[in-house]
Each structure stands twice: as C-alpha cells, then as structure tokens.
Structure 1
Amino acid sequence: MSTANLLRLIFLAAIWGGSFLFMRIAAPVLGAAVLIEYRVLFASLFLAVIAVVLKQPLNLRKHWKHYFILGLFNSALPFLMFAFAARTLSASLLAVLNATTPLWGTLIAAVLTRQMVGGKVMLGLVLGACGVALLVGFDHVSAKPGAGLAIAAVLFASFNYGIASNYAKSVKDVEPLSNAHGSMWASTLLVLPVVPFFPAPGEPSIGIMGAVIALGVLCSGIAYLIYFRLIRDVGPSSALTVTFLSPLFGILWGTLFLGETVGWYTIVGAAIVIAGTALVTGFRPHFGPLRKAKTV
C-alpha cells in the first residue's frame, strides 16, 4: 500500500468515525427523520455533481429497483436507526456497535447459503457478542431511560448493513459511484414521507446545520469516493481495514469534542468486537512496503 493510500484509509476512518459525532450533535435538535432527510439529500446533490463531472449516468430505467433496495437497507433504515439512537447513546458506543456490521453480514450469508460457519468464524461471532455485552453492561449510558431501545436500534442498523452488503454482491453490472449516487436519491425519497410524522423538536443553529452538511457531503459523499478509490487501488480486503479503524476515531472524537468518558470497558469491549470481526472476516492485512505517491 502506498503512503497516499494509507493516508486515504486513515482519513476515511476519521470521517466515518466522525459521523457519530455529527449525529450526536444534530439528532437531539432535528430529530432522526429531519436529520437523515437532510443528510441523504445533501449527499445526493454532491454525488450528482460528481456524476455529471465524471459523466456517469444512473441508467434509472434499468436499475431503479436496485437503487431502492440498496437505498433502503444501506442508507434509509440504518441512518434513521443511528440518528434515533444518537439522541441517547454516546458517539463512542455508537461507533463500536457499528463495528458489528461484518458479524451480521457473515450470519446473513450463512443463512442465505445454508452453510455452517467454521470454528474460527464461530469464535469470532462469540467474541463479538461478548464485546457488545461488555460495552452495554458496563457503560453508564446504557442505564439511561430509552437506552435499551437505542442499542437495539443500532444493532438493527448494523443488521441492515449486513443485508445490504450481501445484496450488493449479487449485483455486478452497476458502477460503484452509481450505486452510491442512485441509492442516495432513493433514500431521499424513502425518508421523505416519514418527515411530517417526526418534525424537528428544536430550531437548528448554524453549528447544527454545519454538522448536517458535514454528515451529507463529507461522511456520505466524499467518504464514498475515497472508499471506492481504495477498493480500486488496494482491493476490498485492505480497504476493509476501515472497519477496524473507524471505532477508534469514533471514541477519539467523542472524547475530544463531547467530553465523553472512556472507561476500561470501552477499550476492552472495542478490542474484543474488533478481534471478533477480524476472525469472522478472515482479515489479513497485506499492506506491503509503503511507497511514496507519484507526483504529477
């Protein structure tokens, strides 16, 4: 992996770790529905500009159903669940629980293929469950009213990501940018009918709207572009490293900007979840020697 790609990987992890910070800031004021409608709309507009510049049409007549399925499970439902949970849970806890996504993806794949998982994968699943139990059991936030429902919402969001990842593997003829672009517009349409039933509880300040724009443009639009670039340059296996790095940044941003408490259970629980995820995915980093990026 070149130095440039390593920096992209770290930057991507920092961005996705920051998404929990931005949701934690904006969700109590805007509510889940309004916040996510803004998020996917801003992401859609940003990706539309990129698609025009790169001349990548969506081909809606052929792929509109695919965009709606992907938009439902990869954006609309999980984003709403995370935004709902962000009104109660800490950014650190949100980030670590999100790392269970590969665990859910593996379980769903095993059910779909009707194949038993191996011993190493089973150990990883058990470790992941133990890490979540440790976090939930010791984190003082989990004692707050409504925390149980919020934790269930986050795990359901990660479950939906698992569905989306397995579904996306079955679709081979859609470009990555079109997947992101089309699914964001589909998410915008899917979330819109929910907004009137869950109006914003407060008036957003300039800072709140800044967090919303960051969620849409930075954490959704730009993050997708970086991720697709990494997949092209270093392959999906090395790009998967972001799964292990983003919880660390989620904890860091929550501590630095929100004053969240990081106890021993946060560090140990995160380490157990990440170790379990590594076992489940069979992750083996192949970075190779660092190389300086060529200048043009």
Structure 2
Amino acid sequence: MTRRKWVLFAAMCLIWGVPYLLISASVAEVSPAMVVFSRTAIGAVVLLPFAWRQLRAVWAHRWPVLAFALLEMVGPWFLLSDAERHLSSSLAGLLIAFAPVLALVVARVIGLERRIGRLRVLGLVVAVGGVAALGGGGMEASGAWPVIEMLLVAVGYAIAPQVAAVKLREVPALPMTAVCLTIAALISAPFAAATWPTTTPSATALGSLVLLGLLCTALAFLLFFRLIAEAGPARATAIAYVNPVVALALGVSLRGDPLTPLIVAGAILVLAGTFLATRRTRNESPTPSAPTPAEHEGAPAA
C-alpha cells in the first residue's frame, strides 16, 4: 500500500461513514423521498458525463441493472432515510455493518457458497450478539419498525451483490452506477414532489442534502472505483469495517448519541463477527468466480 492508496482508503472510510449523520440532519426537516431524490439526482448528474460512452453495455443488461438498482439503492435508501427519523445515526451505521453477514447467508442459500466453516459460523453468532448488546447498552430505537427497516436495508445490500455476481459481471461499474442513480432519481421524483416541504428547509438540511449527493454519492463512487483500480477489491472492501466506527464517532461527538461500555462492546462484537463471518479458511470451498460488492457497487454505502 503506497501513501496514495492509504489516502484514498482513509478518504473512503470517512466519506462513507458520514452519510448517516447527514441523513439524520436531513430527515428532521424533509421527507425520506426528498433525501433519496436529492442525493441520487445530484449523483446522476455528476457521474453521467463520465459514463455516457459505456451506456450501451448497461442497456444490454437493463433488467438485471434495474433489479440491482432497486435492491442496492432505491429500496435501501428509502428505508434507511425513514428509519433514521426514529433511531440514531450511530445505531444506523452499526446495523449496516451487519450486511456482509446477511450476504454470507444469502450466498449459502442460493449456492454461491458451498460450505461455511466453523469460524464463519462463530462470526455469525458473535455479530448477532453484538447487535443485541447495542440495544441493551442504551442505543435504542423508538419502536421495532426502524430496526426492522435497517435489517431490510442490510438484506438489500446482501442480495444485490449476488445479482451482480450472476448477471452483471460484464457491466462496467461506473456507467452502471450512473444508470442506477438515474433510475433511483426517476422513481423517487414523484414521491419527493408529493412530499415537497411547505417551508424552505434550514441551511443545515439543505447543506446535508447537497453533501449527500456530491460528497457521499458522486465523489465517493469516483474515489472508490479509483481505490479498487489501485489497491484491488479485497483491500477496498475493508472500508466496510471502518465506516461504522466513523458513524459512531460522529454521532457521539456531534449529535450526542449515547456511548456506554456495553455499546462499545456491542460495536466491537459486530465488527469482529462480520470480519470472522466473511473470512474464508483454507479448508472451505471457494465461491464460484463472483465479484465482491466492491467490484460493482462498493461496500454498503449509506
């Protein structure tokens, strides 16, 4: 890892740890649909000029691309934005860390994973225990539905890479991302129009929406694809273990989210369990040649 690669890696760890905080600030004044529309429309406008020469390859796989967009962006980002009206940005970030664990389960069910070793099973158990510890430590939501929404987000993030693995191996990542953002913007536009705020949101909310689109969506994907090209997908996906820590730190320091010893222990268990659950041992059968989420869309991005 060169200094340039470390800078890219650190930038991505920070950029994809920030959205939870920005979404929380935005949904305090605008609807979840407005959040989704704003960030995807801005992201699409910025990325399409970089991708238009390769759009034919995306069109040739239009139905799997549509499915991927629904599972990776439209559904998860609506659910995430709605959930953050009722739970802290810290808890949202830590629950998203559970996505790779669910991805392993999905891969096993559909046959992309032939065998899950004992170490990875232990990781599954540890990660589930970590989620339970977060709730017991005072990091609570106002009801069960927001937590269910976050788990559904994780399910979407778990299934989408499997669609990419089976149907989208030949589609370049940048144009596919630009098209997926465009699809998400078009789908969310009528919902955003129907929930348009009657009063002008504050500078904080408007600034959060702009940053979500420019920094956490458009620039984030450009930098992430560069990181993949220079450091490889295996190292690039390691940001998934750091993003939740950034989200927790920002939530505690800037929004006053609770931080207790049990929450710290729960966060460590979630991240350690995710690491173990996604770590292959020598005795396990390799997954049939399939790309990681990073090769197509990046580690789960809020």
TM normalised by structure 1 equals: 0.88
Aligned residues: 279
* Equivalent position of 1:153 in the other structure: 149
CA distance in 2, matches of 1:94, 1:251: 9
Match of 1:164 in 2: 160
Give the structure 2 partner of residue 62 of structure 1.
60
Name the CA shift for 1:201/1:12 in 2 (closer, same or farther; >3 Å).
Answer: farther
1:6 is aligned to 6
2:77 equivalent among 76, 79, 85: 79
- Alpha-carbon distance, 1:75 to partner: 0.5
Q: Which runs of 4+ in 1 moved over 4 A?
A: 196-202
Instruction: Specify which structure has the higher proportion of helix.
Output: 1
* Distance verdict in 2 for CA 1:108–1:201, change over 3 Å: farther
Task: Map Cα deviations across residues 84-132 of structure 1 (whole Å, 9 max, x no partner).
Answer: 1111111111111110110011000000007442211111111111111
Give the match's secondary structure for 2:268.
Answer: helix
Deviation at 1:235, TM superposition (A): 1.5
| Counterpart-to-counterpart distance in 2, 1:266 and 1:214 | 28
Deviations 1:213-235 (A, max 9, x none): 11111111111112111222121
Equivalent residue number for residue 43 of structure 2: 43
How far is 1:198 from its partner? 4.6
**TM-aligned CA distance change 1:22 to 1:202, over 3 Å:** farther
Greater mean deviation of Cα atoms: 195-204 or 115-124: 195-204
Q: Secondary structure at the match of 2:8?
A: helix
Counterparts of 2:65 and 2:189, CA distance in 1: 16
Residue matched to 1:132: 131
Match of residue 120 from structure 2? 121
Indicate the residue corresponding to 2:256 in structure 1.
259
CA distance in 2, matches of 1:72, 1:17: 22
Name the counterpart of 1:234. Answer: 231
Question: Which residue, out of 74, 92, 95, partners 1:94?
Answer: 92
Shifted more, 227-236 versus 73-82: the winner is 227-236
SS in 2 for 1:117: coil
Q: Could you say which residue in structure 1 is the equivalent of 2:103?
A: 105
Q: Percent identity?
A: 25
Matched, 1:213 2:210: yes
1:288 aligns with none
- Tell me the amino acid that sits aligned with residue 180 of structure 2: S
User: Per the alignment, do residues 67 and 168 of structure 1 end up closer, same or farther by CA in structure 2, a change over 3 Å counting?
Assistant: same
CA contact (8 A) 1:58 1:182 kept: no
- What is the CA-CA distance between 1:81 and the residue it aligns to? 0.9
Give structure 1 stretches of 5+ with no counterpart. 285-296
State how far apart, in whole Å, the 2-side matches of 1:58 and 1:36 are: 26
**Residue equivalent to 1:294:** none
C-alpha deviation, 1:158, in angstroms: 0.9
Structure 1: which amino acid aligns with 2:64? H
Answer whether contact 2:64 2:163 (CA < 8 A) is retained: no
Q: Is the 8 A contact 1:67 1:186 kept in 2?
A: no
1:188-207 correspondence to structure 2 within 5 Å: 188-195=185-192, 198-200=195-197, 203-207=200-204
- After TM superposition, the structure 1 = structure 2 runs for residues 20-31 of structure 1, keeping only pairs within 5 Å, are 20-31=20-31
Q: Is the 1:74–1:160 Cα contact (8 Å) retained in structure 2?
A: yes
Deviation at 1:280, TM superposition (A): 1.2
**Any conservation in 2 of the 1:29–1:203 contact (CA below 8 Å)?**
no
Measured after TM superposition, the shift of residue 166 of structure 1 is 1.3
Cα distance in 1 for residues equivalent to 2:213 and 2:22: 10
One-letter identity of the residue aligned with 1:105? A
What is the RMSD of the two structures over their aligned residues, measured on CA atoms?
A: 2.0
Q: Secondary structure at the match of 1:57?
A: helix
